[in-house]
Amino acid sequence: MRLSAILTTLVGLAVAGGSAYLARDYVERGKLAALESETAATVSVLVARQDIAMGQSIETHVLETIDWPRDAVPDGVFTDRNELLPERGQPTRRAKRAISQGELFLRTKVSDFGEKVTIGQELGPNLRAMAIKVSAETAVGGFVTPGDFVDVVLTQGRKEDLRAVTILQNIRVIGVDQDADVHGDKPEIARTVTVAVSPAEGQRLALAQQAGTLSLTLRNYEAADSQELNLIRLSDILKDAPIEERVARTVVVRRGNVSEVEELR
């Protein structure tokens, strides 16, 4: 009796141990399968570790690798550092435009190895870059920076014939003097502002620069694309202005024994 009880106990322990082992193995396999499934759902991509200015070299210290959903990876993304970084002695790639921190590196955003980067690469297929002569008064006190959108106002005429009209609206600024960095936020007094315009807008801008003074008005990013604006004259402003009561100033003039009061004009 004792022997059969012992055998029964041993068999029970063996069965229990085997069941526990199988259960643990099943759980481990499930965790491994879940991990593999999660890994397969993402891919490692290269992003900017910091803000990168247009024309800046792409080097190791500006790169960072993150996981990105595999089914949401855009075309042209870099997944291998060796594709983005040069070999020893080879010239670097450069940013064709400003790249923000955390932004994906795409082939459309960087040059080939040793390729020259110019402001023309910032333009769309049907746009042109054109410079406008400005001053502190005509360029919003120096607060216009690359990446802003502006309206262009033409002022011309003299005295009562002075008039102003908005000739272009919602125009993108791509450079201020020699600076094309959209991350720059330091105000500076510029002599020229370069804008991106269509060929037709460029013709209007060229004529307007010869006809009078151009001023820029800085737009809010959420402002409407455009609105109907008519030419306005100085007389339009003055005709509705309140007329202040003029206080007459007089002086007494004596001519011999005769005194006269005359009004100063």
Q: Cβ distance 48 to 58 under 8 Å?
A: no
Whether 51 is covered by a domain: the verdict is: yes
pLDDT tier for residue 205 given thresholds of 50, 70 and 90:
very high
Q: Could you tell me if 201 and 124 lie in one domain?
A: yes
Q: Could you tell me if 48 and 149 lie in one domain?
A: no
Whether 167 is covered by a domain: the verdict is: yes
Q: Could you tell me if 167 and 199 lie in one domain?
A: yes
pLDDT tier for residue 49 given thresholds of 50, 70 and 90:
very high
Select the highest-mean-pLDDT range: 28-37, 104-113, 225-234.
Answer: 104-113
pLDDT tier for residue 77 given thresholds of 50, 70 and 90:
very high
Tokens of 27: 């759980």
Q: Could you tell me if 203 and 141 lie in one domain?
A: yes
CB under 8 A, 24+ apart: contacts of 235-239:
235/160
Whether 26 is covered by a domain: the verdict is: no
Q: Cβ distance 42 to 66 under 8 Å?
A: no
Q: Could you tell me if 100 and 124 lie in one domain?
A: no
Which residue has tokens 């002599």? Answer: 191
Q: Could you tell me if 48 and 132 lie in one domain?
A: no
Q: Rg of the chain over CA atoms, in angstroms?
A: 37
Whether 265 is covered by a domain: the verdict is: no
Positive or negative, the CA dihedral 128, 131, 137, 138 is negative
Q: Could you tell me if 68 and 124 lie in one domain?
A: no
Q: Cβ distance 205 to 168 under 8 Å?
A: yes
Q: How many domains does the chain have?
A: 2
pLDDT tier for residue 236 given thresholds of 50, 70 and 90:
confident
Q: The whole model's pTM is what?
A: 0.55
Q: Cβ distance 65 to 45 under 8 Å?
A: yes
Cα(54)–Cα(116) distance, rounded to whole angstroms? 11
Which residue has tokens 């011999």? Answer: 256
pLDDT over threshold 60, residue 33: no
Whether 16 is covered by a domain: the verdict is: no
* Amino acid (one-letter) located at 100: S
**In the prediction, which pLDDT does 99 show?**
87
Q: Which domain holds residue 82?
A: 42-104
Whether 213 is covered by a domain: the verdict is: yes
The three-state secondary structure class of 220 is coil
**Rounded to 5 degrees, what are φ and ψ at 34?**
-65, -40
**Rounded to 5 degrees, what are φ and ψ at 63?**
-105, 150
* 137-190 pLDDT, tens digit each: 787 777 888 888 999 999 998 877 889 999 999 999 988 876 665 555 555 677
Cα(206)–Cα(65) distance, rounded to whole angstroms? 47
Q: Could you tell me if 76 and 161 lie in one domain?
A: no
Q: Could you tell me if 153 and 76 lie in one domain?
A: no
| Burial of 171 from C-beta contacts in 10 A (0-12 / 13-18 / 19+) | buried
Whether 21 is covered by a domain: the verdict is: no
Q: Could you tell me if 151 and 223 lie in one domain?
A: yes
Q: Could you tell me if 72 and 157 lie in one domain?
A: no
CATH code of 83's domain = 3.90.1210
Q: Quick one: average pLDDT of 182-205?
A: 80
Cα(19)–Cα(25) distance, rounded to whole angstroms? 10
pLDDT over threshold 60, residue 101: yes
* 6-17 pLDDT, tens digit each: 556 655 555 555
Q: Could you tell me if 233 and 124 lie in one domain?
A: yes
Whether 3 is covered by a domain: the verdict is: no
